[in-house]
Amino acid sequence: MLQRCIVSLIGVALIGCAAASDAEARRPTATPERVLAFAPEQLVGLSQTSDAHLSPDGRAVAYAVRTPQALSTHGGAKTSIYLLNVETGATRRLTSATHTSWSPRWSPDGTKVSFLSRRRAHDDQTQIFTIDPAGGEATPVTKLSTGVRAYAWSPSGQRIAYTATRAWTDEEQDARSEGRDWVVNERNNRGSKLFVLDPLTGESTPVTQDTHAINSFAWAPDGQSMVISASTSATVDATMMYSALYTITLADKQLRPLAKTEGKLGRAAWSPDGKNIAFLGARDIHDSTAGTLFVVSSGGGTARPLTSTIEGTGQWIGWRDEKTIVLSSHERTESTVRLIDLKNGSSTLLVEDGPTCRSLSFAADGERYACSGSRPTHPPEVFGGSLKKKAPTRLTVSNPDLERTILGDQRVFNWTANDGTSLQGVLILPIGYTKGTRYPLAVLPHGGPEGVSLN
């Protein structure tokens, strides 16, 4: 995809933000008057949401809230899982505040919320837990020696696929026991293996072998196959630049090359009818991002780019139906949501200046969605939207005092480089800025080309 260089110019008068208050988020009401001053040290007290996932019926959002502890308290920030009632705006903590928990997911039937947590009373490693959304005690469903990295429910809810770091071999374990546990750069990396778990029995079955490091995966709609991104080594270059796409069935567990790709790979998603796989990838080995949307037959073949003419970088993809792909991308300094036609690649712009969300989570109807996104005036909060409407609505306020704090005005400006390239930047003005008055200027140019400064 075409890209523009983005530069941030930040007025030195705006350094911090307001302090966080109770992490129990409130539904946004009328915009309060901003009358509070800020202190730079209050910035470390801000709470922020992440990983917002909408329930299958679209009535509730499970999300994580990271809350810094008081500076006088030993230890770092704690992350807990919360539930939001979309209709009433009521929120409540679902997991214990004494443990850090993250990556909430709804079971396909909506009867459970799963999450990752490391609870020393249970295990020193990261494990998968489930909990009744009505409340109660969380139940561990894994007990792995190396811990879970990522996981996803199968479409039927009968299985959970997860990746876990490869266990030490007997030879490696003997060496560690004898004190030969030194780390040699890039030679001690252990990649992830893919497993499938029966959540009722807790029994796990390996799907891949140690020959490949699994970077990501996605279920097929029939729950019998997956598309995976994997590399033959767990080194940084191998996983970042030389991974490949494969499909694999649970029946024979054989890796089948899906399509020839070059460079970085991003998210992949299987179409609802099982016929196609969409994925984000680089245009070639020199492309700095996996930002172009491709589609390929699920049986394998040549991948077809769909967004080469869109001036933006894809961040997340999903299927609305078997003919339409939902694309969230960064275009210039803004975050957008588009519908992409599978047949001809034509796009419909739905959200032009939305919150900066890392991913979208859809209800079973394929229309309503939730995400955790930030705006110039606040860190990530939960938003809810519909593909039938233009803009998502903010659903939480995790830092009430920040809503009443005076902030510098933020705006986008444009200029033209010497070679004629059109550039954009983000400018934050000092509090109390008066036009025509000269102020000190702090410049934060991004080294690029992988990142941008967003509005």
Whether the CB-CB separation of 379 and 372 falls below 8 Å is answered with: no
In this prediction, residue 447 carries a pLDDT of 66
In this structure, the number of other CB atoms found within 10 A of the CB of residue 44 comes to 13
How far is 42 from 230, CA to CA, in rounded Å?
Answer: 42
In this prediction, residue 166 carries a pLDDT of 80
How far is 267 from 269, CA to CA, in rounded Å?
Answer: 7
CATH of domain 18-177+185-406: 2.120.10.30
Sign of the Cα torsion 249, 251, 255, 259 reads negative
Amino acid letter, residue 245: L
User: 304-347 pLDDT, tens per residue?
Assistant: 999 988 988 999 999 999 999 999 999 989 999 999 999 999 99
Whether the CB-CB separation of 27 and 89 falls below 8 Å is answered with: yes
| Domains in the chain: boundaries | 1-17+409-455, 18-177+185-406
CA 400 to chain centre: 25
In this prediction, residue 6 carries a pLDDT of 33
Closest CA to 81 of 68, 90, 67, 73: 67
Residue 389: what are its φ and ψ, rounded to 5°?
-120, 160
How far is 278 from 338, CA to CA, in rounded Å?
Answer: 15
Give bridge partners of residue 205 from the DSSP assignment: 196
In this prediction, residue 43 carries a pLDDT of 84
Q: Which DSSP category does 45 fall into?
A: G
In this prediction, residue 2 carries a pLDDT of 35
Residue 80 in 3-state DSSP?
strand
- Indicate whether this model's pTM tops 0.85: yes
Residue 237: what are its φ and ψ, rounded to 5°?
-60, -40
For the chain, give the number of residues. Answer: 455
How far is 359 from 373, CA to CA, in rounded Å?
Answer: 9
Residue 238 in 3-state DSSP?
helix
The span from the first CA to the last CA of the chain, in angstroms, equals 20
User: 115-174 pLDDT, tens per residue?
Assistant: 999 987 666 899 999 999 998 999 999 988 888 999 999 999 999 999 998 877 777 777
Strand order in the sheet with 313-321: 313-321, 324-331, 334-341, 347-354
How far is 446 from 423, CA to CA, in rounded Å?
Answer: 13
Q: In the chain, count H helices and then E strands.
A: 2, 33
The position carrying tokens 């090359």 is 257
pLDDT digits (tens), the chain, 455 positions: 333 333 333 333 332 332 333 445 666 766 788 778 887 777 888 999 999 999 999 999 999 999 988 777 777 789 999 999 999 999 999 998 888 999 999 999 999 999 999 987 666 899 999 999 998 999 999 988 888 999 999 999 999 999 998 877 777 777 778 887 777 776 667 789 999 999 988 899 999 988 899 999 999 999 999 999 999 988 888 999 999 999 999 999 999 999 999 999 999 999 999 999 999 999 999 999 999 999 999 999 999 999 988 988 999 999 999 999 999 999 989 999 999 999 999 999 999 888 999 899 999 999 999 999 999 999 999 999 999 887 899 999 999 989 989 999 999 989 999 999 888 889 999 998 999 999 999 998 876 667 778 88
